[in-house]
Structures are given as structure tokens and as C-alpha cells.
Amino acid sequence: MADTQTEPVAAIIDRYNGDPGMLIPMMQDLQAEHGYLPQGELKELSSGLAVPLAQVYSVATFYSSFRLMPKGDHTIQLCMGTVCFLKGAGKIAEAIREQFDLVPGGTSPDRKFTFAPVNCVGACALAPVMVVDGEYYGGLTTDSAVGLLEKIAAGDKPAGEAVVDKSKAAAEKEKKRGVAKKKKAAAGEKKGGGLKKKKKPAAGKKKSGGAKKKKDAGKKKSGGSKKK
Amino acid sequence: MSTVHTTLESANDLQHYRTAVQQRASRVDRIVRVCCGPGCIPKGAREVHRRFAEAAEALDEENVVVEARLTGCQGLCECGPIVTVDPGGIFYQNVKEEDVPEIWRESVVGNRVVERLLYQDEGMDKPARTAEEIPFYRGHRRIALALCGVIDARSMDDYIAAGGYEAVAKVLASMAPEEIIEVITASGLRGRGGGGFLTGRKWQSARNAPGESRYVIANGDEGDPGAFMDRALMEGVPHAVIEGMIIGGYAIGSSDGYIYVRDEYPIAVERLRNAVGQARELGLLGENILGSGFDFDIRLNRGGGAFVCGESTALMASLEGRVGEPRAKYIHTVESGLHEKPSLLNNVETWANVPHIISKGADWYASLGTERSKGTKVFSLVGKVKNTGLVEVPMGMTLREIIFGIGGGIPGDRAFKAVQTGGPSGGCIPAEFLDEPVDFDRLTELGSMMGSGGMIVMDEDTCMVNVAKYFLNFLKEESCGKCTPCREGIAQALHILTNISKGEGQEGDIEKLEALGTLLEDTALCALGKTAAYPVLSTVRYFRDEYEAHIREKRCPAKECPGLFRYEIDPETCTGCRLCAKKCPVDAITGERKEPHVIDQEKCTNCGTCFDACPFSAVIKV
């Protein structure tokens, strides 16, 4: 499988003075070279170090960063850390799976993407966050994540930070949820006695947080009255 | 500003070198610090730094020297990229690449302030000019992170100019190994990686262990989801870790050090590699350090992406090139660890505290913190909190001070529900304990733990059953499978939790979870398994009613578990725009244009598409 451009296994072994204790770093280098761990090279590594192939294989399958299959053109690392999870990473994973026929750890049938959900990339301020080919994309929603990947599949590489304005997306979401909650409270009352109108000023009052939100509440209000 | 290529052969040489770099630094008139920490880089901080560096380079004014530093995390990730300009410490937030010319012209060269990029929040009547004026920074006390965000993260000269490697010079010149251990013990420093074991005692055992060679190891395999303290530290002040390790090596009589760093942190790997290279070049690593006769070198190993390798015996197995499976610890690793030699393993944050304790003394360190938890602790404050960021505060600060004082509380005026500390091995602490001090022992009493310092805030919209499920799912994936209780027990507990969250829970499930949790604690081989049930046990302990609502009423009070709540359309708010009806995958939504729509509950699959689609927030969860 290896083309002539790649570094021979012997050179990798030499780099670590043939120390079998450095098996993992050697395999990391091998993977960096090929994008995955080709069988032939693993066998060479095993005989070169006099480490049983079974041990090489057990290491290759134990650590989640090793792959025994070739990689797609683009690698998607979707952060599944606690914060991303709380902010909807699970749904995004599901959407990616459906849209691109990708199972976690797998490569899409068209070899465009390799999908690697990771435990945490440590960029919690941007949650939910996805790293595609080393570029960070934060503040994602299911739609924006899928849209982004479609763009990348089409050959366009959007700049990381520019894709989603995180603060805006978060504010939007908050607004949505905050209002929904109020609505819910009001809806509960309404069922009993039909307290119309009442929650609108309430929603307005709640908006004291920021100018942008306020504007939005106004918009909503007028939307409501138009309806009447 | 290139490094002078010399090898330091004595403490005196180091002092001369320090004086030289300090003199060079004193010729700099303005310093621009661009935060390139974990939160800022994804938002384009590197480009911002590049622009400043280019501008500084191109500056041809004779009398002004500007330095653009690429620093580690400055803390307030929420508002990154952060740029500070000295003198004056002017603090700019959310800086974009296109803002650079204005900051350069007005602030750096012109010595004026760019008002529009200053920080301001609702509680402030005027914008903050410096970090000290920002509520987030009140109460911070940086020790491990003292130079993080201040010096250029890639520069050894900056580190030395700020007093770096002074502690190494001090111990090599004037302290016996036993004396060092006494100081560390007296400081009360406890392991920052999770266990909270008294560091000095660990060092003493490692020193006392019989055998010729021994190892010093830094654990930088930060695996807890939602935690980035160690990442920030390794990226921002890599030399602090190295300096601590040299001191540790000298104290226990070891000349071989290892840093095991998570491969998912490529910048940390790069900075550490760079720092080790620099230290070797100056002769602070290698043979006969500062002419003392003491040899010490460090090797860098990257992890393979296994959470369990954060456990000491698994980490050592991994360092030997094997699968990272823990072993029973009836023989401690300080006696028989890596290659069956005595091995002293500490977390990178523990190591970074060491030089400060040596320089300033045990009493100084022990004066901070609480009775049994001394010093400071770094936390990554994340989740449903206004100011996400990196925080270092004295032990004993209350949860409320951290979450509401520094963190600014919960966004969107939602109610605080719980804070999760200690990663997957920790637990959730509810609102009634917000005024408890944060220290090792108190957190353990509350059914959680200090862990490595992740602090994940949850609001009222978070379902605690779902949280417990998330952590168990994580641990199930990460269980190495060596011991049966962990391999099978976690899977079984997860199965029960999944049923509960689907509304298929039964009476007795909670008790089964508790029994499984106790079993794991008693019988699992390593800390991963022993503590695996804590997220479940702590949520059952404090949020039992929520579990019961799922089981008995088939209802998710936080409205998060699909199927255990309904979506409805509020006829008051609905404008009849048809958007939800178009998007609904099962055509469950009907209604005329400009008339309120209705969801057919028979058809609805609770997918939530309409909830996300509605631009007017008319779809509600009930």
C-alpha cells in the first residue's frame, strides 16, 4: 500500500533508537505518514522491534487514535465533551451520521470524510465545537454543521472562526429558550382562563438584558399584533 | 530577539543570563499580549498575533520598541481573542483580525484607548480598561498559572527574565534532597490530578524506595471532558512543568523524566517539545546541570487517546509501549512503577506549583487555602455559565463565589441546578451547597471530588438522568475491560439508565443503580471503575425526584429526554408562517397560512425539528 514517498519503517525505528518502549510514538509517526496503520508496515515494525505482532495489534486497537483503515479526504472531529453534549453535540452527531452515512470512527462510502467523535478538545467556550482538518468551528447547530460539511465536501474551505458567530448563535438560542419558557408558563395559565396578551409585556420586561434582544421582542410583538 | 547560544555552567551563569535578558526586556516600550490559549486560537487569535508581530517588525520609529507576545491562556475564554496592551494593561476583548490596525494605531502607538473593544457587562456603568476592573478576574490568585498569559509561551528567555529556573538554581546550590521534600511536605501541596494525595509524602516514598534508577513522570493526559486546565498550563508555561520536574528528580535521586501528554493537544505537544529543546540547549536539562553534578533529562510521550491512561499504572504501561491497562496497586508505583522501578508521578499542575513553593517557601504556600487543602487550584469553568474561562483561585473559595462571582451566573436568567466537578469520576452538586468551600475533603463529602479541576455548570434545562447517562456512556467506552465489575457493571448501569430516560424504567431501578454503584466502588480494579458510579450516585442522592418522575410519571421534568415531554404550538405566538409544517418529517403539523398551527400528537415523533425551526419561538415544550 505504501507509495514510494513515505518514510520507511526502519527510519522510524531508528528515530527512537529501536526502543520497544517507544512503540506507541513509532505507531503515531507511522500513522502520521500514511493516515492509518497499514498491515505490512505493522508487520515490519513488529519484526524490527522484536515485539510480537499480537502486541502491536493490541496497541493499535486499544488506543482510539489509531486507525487500521484508510482515512477520508477530510477528518471530522466532533467534540463530545460534557459541555458540547449539554449544548447539543449528540444531535449533531446524529445528523452527520444520517447525512453522510458515517458511523463514528468510520469513513464515508465516498471516502470524503472520516468521522471521529472525540472526548473533549478543550475548547468549551465554543461549544458545541467540531474540528475539521484542524480548523475549529464553534457554536454549531445541526443545520450549520451539516451545511458546513456539505460546503467542505464541495471543495470549499470556510475559515474557522468566521463560520458561526458564536455569541450571536448563543444569544439567539437563549432568547428562544427564555421566551419559550415564559410562553410555557403563560400557556399553562391560559389553558385555564385564556389570559391573552398578558405574557407579551412579560416577555418585553424580561428582555432588559440586551439591546439586541429588546429589538427582537419588539419585532415579535408587532408580529403578534399583525396576526390579530 | 534571538537567544544567546550559551550553555549555563553554574548558578552564576544563569544569573548573568537572567540579567542580560532582563536588560533586553527593559528596552521594550510597549508589549502587546495576544492570548493564544485553547479558547482564543479557534476564534482566530493566531492571525491577530501575526498581524501585531508584523506591525512590530515593520515599525521603523527609532525610539519605540514594541513586542508582540503570543501568550498562553489569559482566562476569559468567553470574550476571546483577548489582547492586552502594556503599559497600562489595557484589556481588549473579542478582537478580530480587522481590529488590529486600529488597536495598533490608537493604543499601541498612540497610547489612547479603543473604547469599543473594552469589556463591559450589564452590571457595570462604564467599560473596564484593565483586567482588574472586570468582575471575572476578581478573586483570582495565579500561582501555577502565574506566568501563563504574561510571557510569550514559546520563549525561554521570557520565562527566565521573570525569575524562571531560579528554584532549580536554589535547590542545586543550597538544598539537600531531604530538605526539598520537607519543604514540599510542609507546604501542604496535594496532588492536583484527582487523588489529592499529599505530594511531599509521595516524594518521600519515592526517595526511600530501594533500587538504583528511578523515574519522574508528569501526567499531562488530561482526559476529563470539559477540562482544559492542564492544556492551558502546558501550552502557556511549559517551562514551569519542566522546572518542577527537575526539582523532583533531584529530590528523589532520579535522572530520567517523562512527560506523558495527550496527543489531542497538538499545541501542548509542540510547546513542550520546544521547551525541552530550549532547556537542553541552555544546559538546564542534560548532564551536570549548572555545574552541580546532577543529571536530568526529559522524554516526551504522546498518549494514544485512552482516558484510562490518566490512571498512573495504565499510564506507565502505555509508556512501556503496551496497552494502557491498570494493575492492582497493592504495590505502589512509587516503589515499582515504570519498568518496575520506583516512579514518581504527579500531574502537570502539581509540578508547576513546585518552583513557586521552593522560591517563596512552604509557609507562604500554606498560608493560602483551607486547613487541609493548601494553595490554589486551577479550574476550567464551563457549561451554562456566562463567563466561560480558566480560573485559578485559593482553595476554600465557595462554589457561589466561583460560579456567580467570577463566572457571572447562568445565562438567560435561568436557574442554577447543579455543578459537576471532578470529571466522569466526580458528581453533581446541587444549589443547596453553593456556599460550601471548594476543597478536596468537602467536595468528597458532598459525593463529588476535586478531580483535576473541571467545573461544569448546569441550569434548570439539564436533565440529571441524562447527565448521568452521558458520563456512564463515556466510561463504558473508556473502560479498558480488564476487570469484570467495570466492564460489565458500567454497561449494566447504563442499560438501566437508558431505560429510565426512555420512560421504560421500573420500580426498583434506582435501588439497582445504587447497588451496582456500591459494587463498583468496592470491587473495581482502578480508580476509573471505583468512581464510575459517582455521577449516578450523586444525581440519585440529590435529584431522586427527577429519577422518580421519569420512572413513575414517565415525565422528564427538564424536558430533555425525548418522548417524556410533548411539543405544542402556542396559538398566541404562532404567526402561521408554515415553516414548521414544511419541515416536519412526519407531516404532523397542520394549519392554514396565517392561522395558528397544531401538532397532531398521534403522529408526532418528538424529533424537535419544529422547535428548532420556529423563528418566533411558538413551539413549546410541555
Nearest Cα of chain B lies from the Cα of A62 at a distance, in angstroms, of 6
Q: Which amino acid is at B110?
A: G
- Residue A207's domain comprises 167-227
SS3 A38: coil
Q: How many CB atoms lie within 10 A of CB B246?
A: 28
Residues of B within 8 A of A198 (CB-CB) are none
Residue B326 pLDDT grade (very low, low, confident, very high; cuts 50, 70, 90): very high
CA of A2 vs chain B CAs: smallest distance (Å)? 23
What does residue B256 show for φ and ψ, rounded to 5 degrees?
-120, 120
Please check whether residue B72 is in contact with residue B267, taking contact to mean a CB–CB distance below 8 angstroms.
no
Number of folded domains that form chain A: 3
CATH pick for B11-136 out of 3.55.50.30, 3.40.30.10, 3.90.380.10, 3.40.50.280 = 3.40.30.10
Q: Does residue A17 fall inside a structural domain? A: yes
Is residue A150 located within the same domain as residue A93? yes
The per-residue pLDDT for range B80-103, each reduced to its tens digit, is 899 999 999 999 999 999 999 999
Q: CB distance B41–A136 less than 8 Å?
A: yes
Least confident of A77-91, B24-38, B347-361: A77-91
A178 versus B23: the higher-pLDDT residue is: B23
Does A1 reside within a domain?
no
Q: How much is the average pLDDT of B55-78?
A: 90
CA B460 to chain centre: 24
Mutation site, A82, A166, A168, A221, interface B, largest B CB count within 10 A: A82
Give the model's pLDDT for residue B516: 95
**Given a cut of 80, is residue A206 above it in pLDDT?**
no
Q: For residue B391, is pLDDT > 50?
A: yes
When pLDDT is averaged across residues A128-134 and rounded to a whole number, the result is 89
Say which of B222, B225, B573 has its CB closest to residue A82: B225
B376-459: what CATH class? alpha beta
The domain boundary, picked from A164, A199, A218, lies at A164
Contact A120 B307 (CB under 8 A): no
Burial of B209 (0-12, 13-18, 19+ CB in 10 A): buried
Instruction: Please tell me whether residues A48 and A82 are part of one structural domain.
Output: no
**Same domain (yes/no): A53, A104:** no
Contact at CB, A126 and B389, closer than 8 angstroms: no
Residues with Cβ within 8 Å of B343's Cβ and at least 6 positions away in sequence, in order, are B206, B214, B215, B216, B217, B316, B333, B334, B336, B337
Q: Cis peptide before A128, with omega less than 30 degrees from 0?
A: yes
Which pLDDT does position B339 carry in this prediction?
Answer: 93
Q: Which of A125-134, B230-239, B527-536, B543-552 has the lowest mean pLDDT?
A: A125-134
Domain B567-621 sits in CATH at 3.30.70.20
Instruction: Please report how the helices A23-34 and A39-49 are oriented relative to each other, as an axis angle in degrees rounded to 10.
Output: 150
Q: How confident is residue B5, by pLDDT bands cut at 50, 70 and 90?
A: low
Q: Is A2 part of a structural domain of the chain?
A: no
Under DSSP, the state recorded for B97 is: G
Region B599-620 average pLDDT: 87
Residue A48 lies in a domain: yes
A122 inside domain: yes
pLDDT at A70: 84
- Distance, in angstroms, between A226 CA and closest chain B CA? 9
Q: Do the chains contact at B412 and A199, CB–CB below 8 Å?
A: no
Same domain, A80 and A146: yes
Cα–Cα distance for residue pair B135/B404, rounded to 1 Å: 10
Rg, Å, chain A Cα set: 25
State residue A156's pLDDT score.
76
Contact flag B411-A85 (C-beta cutoff 8 Å): no
Answer yes or no: do A91 and A158 share one domain: yes
Pairing of strands B215-220, B343-347: parallel
Q: With 50 as the cut, is the pLDDT of residue B169 above it?
A: yes
What's the helix, strand, coil split of chain B in %, to 5? 45, 15, 40
Enter the ipTM.
0.81
Lowest mean pLDDT among B103-107, B410-414, B433-437: B410-414
**pLDDT over 70 for what percent of chain B?**
99
**Pick from B224, B318, B389: CB nearest A24:** B318
Partner-chain residue, chosen from A141, A160, A183, that has the shortest CB–CB distance to B620: A183
Residue B376 pairs in a beta bridge with: B394
Answer whether B334's CB lies under 8 Å from B202's CB.
Answer: yes
Q: Over the stretch A54-90, which tens digit does the pLDDT of each residue have? A: 999 999 999 988 988 888 889 899 998 888 888 889 9
pLDDT, average across residues B263-286: 95
pLDDT above 90: residue A108: no
Across the interface, of A58, A64, A142, the residue whose CB is closest to B306 is A64
Greatest pairwise CA separation for chain A in angstroms: 81
Q: Are A85 and A99 in a shared domain? A: yes
What is the C-alpha separation between B379 and A140, in angstroms, rounded?
25
- Phi and psi (nearest 5°) for A159? -65, 140
Q: According to the model, what pLDDT value does residue B534 have? A: 93
**3-state secondary structure labels for all residues of A67-104:** CCCCCCCEEEEEECCHHHHHCCHHHHHHHHHHHHCCCC
| Whether residues A156 and A174 fall in one domain | no
3-state SS assignment for residue A1: coil
Contact between B284 and B276 (Cβ < 8 Å): no
| Nearest CA distance, B44 vs chain A (angstrom) | 6
pLDDT at A179: 43
B456–A86: do the CB atoms touch at under 8 Å? Answer: yes
Question: Is the pLDDT score of B500 beyond 80?
Answer: yes
Domain residue extents for chain B: 11-136, 156-366, 376-459, 464-552, 567-621
CA distance A77 to chain B (A): 10
Q: What is the CATH number of domain B464-552?
A: 1.20.1440.230
CB atoms within 10 A of CB B330: 5
How far is Cα B577 from Cα B591, in angstroms, rounded to an integer?
10
Cα end-to-end span (Å), chain B: 63
Check whether residue A43 and residue A20 sit in a common domain: yes
Write down the pLDDT at residue B523. 95
Q: Cis peptide leading into B562, omega within 30 of 0?
A: no
* Claim to verify: residue A158 and residue A173 sit in the same structural domain: no
Q: Tell me how long chain B is.
A: 622
Mean pLDDT across chain B, nearest whole number?
93
- Using a CB-CB cut-off of 8 Å, the residues of chain B touching A162 are 44
Q: Give the amino acid at A1.
A: M
Residue A144 shares a structural domain with residue A180:
no
B94-122 b/e (C-beta count within 10 Å ≥ 16 → b): bbebebbeebbebbbeeeebbeebbbeee
pLDDT at position B1 over 60: no
Cell of B363: 509557609
Work out the percent of chain B whose per-residue pLDDT is above 90. Answer: 85
C-alpha cell at A211: 439591546
Burial of B186 (0-12, 13-18, 19+ CB in 10 A): middle
Among residues A141, A164, A187, the one where a domain terminates is A164
Measure A101 CA to nearest chain B CA, in Å. 19
Kindly list the residues from chain B whose CB atom is less than 8 angstroms away from the CB atom of residue A205.
none
B418 burial type by CB count under 10 A (0-12 exposed, 13-18 middle, 19+ buried): buried
pLDDT digits (tens, 9 = 90+) for B287-325: 999 999 999 999 999 998 899 999 999 999 999 999 999
Whether residue B9 has pLDDT greater than 60? yes
Question: Would you state the pLDDT for residue A160?
Answer: 55
Query: Would A14 be classed as within a structural domain?
Result: yes
* Measured CA distances, B530 to A171, B289, B313, B453, B539 (Å): 40, 42, 15, 19, 17
The three three-digit cell numbers of residue A75, written as one number = 477528518
pLDDT at B225: 86
Size of interface A-B (CB pairs under 8 A): 194
| Structure confidence at residue A5 (pLDDT) | 63
**Looking at residue A107, what is its pLDDT?**
86
Does pLDDT of B76 surpass 90? yes
Cα–Cα distance, A183 to A205 (Å, whole number): 13
A11-54 confidence digits (pLDDT tens): 999 999 999 889 999 999 999 888 889 999 999 999 999 999 99
Task: Say yes or no: domain B156-366 is CATH 3.40.50.11540.
Answer: yes
Nearest Cα residue to B560 out of B467, B488, B478, B483: B467
B570-589 per-position pLDDT tens digit: 999 999 999 999 888 888 99
- The answer to whether residue A182 sits within a structural domain is yes
Dihedral class, residue B447 (left if φ above 0, else alpha if ψ from -120 to 50, else beta):
left
Contacts of B470 in chain A (CB under 8 A): 82, 85
For residue A127, give the CATH number of its domain: 3.40.30.10
Given a cut of 80, whether residue B431 has pLDDT beyond it is: yes
